[in-house]
């Protein structure tokens, strides 16, 4: 209740038409209510609502971040595809001979350099296009060193580093082997077209559970980027 405690004037006598009246002081009470705080139950309800909203929003934010990283990775592979095309043009259609997993001992292709070195004239080995932001090791290889969190770190050599695996199917077995000839051989032996033969891929599914759509990015021979089966 709001009230004002004021005293207006003093008690006095007044006359009107011969009659006297006594005026009483006017008191108006102003009561200012005290601030009311939250009760414990109200606080618990507010905290519960906030926790519920966080629980709803966190998975959404996580999925959005993962999707953005997948798209960025695909963009990098598309850039590497353009670099690979330039390499083929400058090498007169000859494909590189690459040690596909540099960290493995013994070497898969003894004496061969990494793919980053093979493409060094068209894309610098230190260029961050070789590094996927979702790169992580969850499936250690028996012939590779341990103690690394990412493939980019594990596969680093003096020639550069990469989060992407080069396909042994398209690796040159002779210095004169051509891109056209290799694709024709794969088509004849395996029945696979250019849209099915990949050049570079994430070392493992960086972008989701293995086997789920979009979990592993690939650069294909027709230069599109996606997952196998997409």
**176 falls within a domain:** yes
**27 falls within a domain:** no
Q: Which helix (H) or strand (E) holds 183?
A: helix 179-190
The pLDDT > 90 percentage for the chain reads 60
**52 falls within a domain:** no
Q: Which domain does 214 fall in, by range?
A: 70-226
Provide the pLDDT for residue 182. 97
**42 falls within a domain:** no
Rounded to an integer, the average pLDDT of 16-45 is 65
Quickly state the pLDDT bin for 99 (edges 50, 70, 90): very high
Q: 138 or 140: which carries more pLDDT confidence?
A: 138
Total number of domains in the chain: 1
The distance from CA 183 to its chain's CA centroid, rounded to whole angstroms, is 33
Provide the pLDDT for residue 5. 42
Q: Is 71 left (phi over 0), alpha (psi -120 to 50) or beta?
A: alpha
**47 falls within a domain:** no
**169 falls within a domain:** yes
**49 falls within a domain:** no
**177 falls within a domain:** yes
């Amino acid at each position: 209740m709001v009230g004002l405690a004021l005293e207006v004037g003093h008690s006095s006598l007044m006359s009107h038409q011969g009659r006297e009246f006594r005026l009483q002081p006017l008191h108006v009470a102003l009561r200012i209510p005290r601030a009311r705080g939250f009760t414990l139950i109200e606080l618990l309800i507010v905290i519960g609502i906030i926790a519920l909203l966080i629980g709803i929003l966190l998975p959404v934010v996580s999925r959005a971040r993962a999707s953005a990283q997948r798209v960025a990775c695909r963009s990098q592979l598309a850039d590497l595809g353009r670099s690979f095309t330039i390499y083929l043009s400058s090498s007169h259609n000859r494909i590189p001979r690459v040690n596909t997993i540099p960290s493995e001992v013994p070497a898969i292709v003894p004496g061969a350099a990494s793919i980053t070195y093979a493409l060094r004239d068209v894309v610098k080995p230190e260029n961050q296009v070789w590094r996927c932001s979702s790169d992580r090791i969850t499936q250690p290889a028996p012939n590779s060193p341990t103690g690394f969190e990412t493939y980019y770190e594990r596969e680093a050599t003096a020639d550069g580093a990469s989060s992407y695996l080069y396909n042994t199917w398209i690796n040159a077995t002779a210095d004169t082997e051509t891109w056209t000839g290799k694709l024709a051989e794969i088509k004849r032996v395996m029945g696979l077209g250019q849209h099915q033969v990949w050049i570079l891929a994430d070392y493992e599914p960086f972008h989701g559970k293995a086997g789920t759509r979009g979990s592993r990015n690939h650069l294909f021979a027709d230069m599109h980027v996606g997952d196998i089966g997409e």
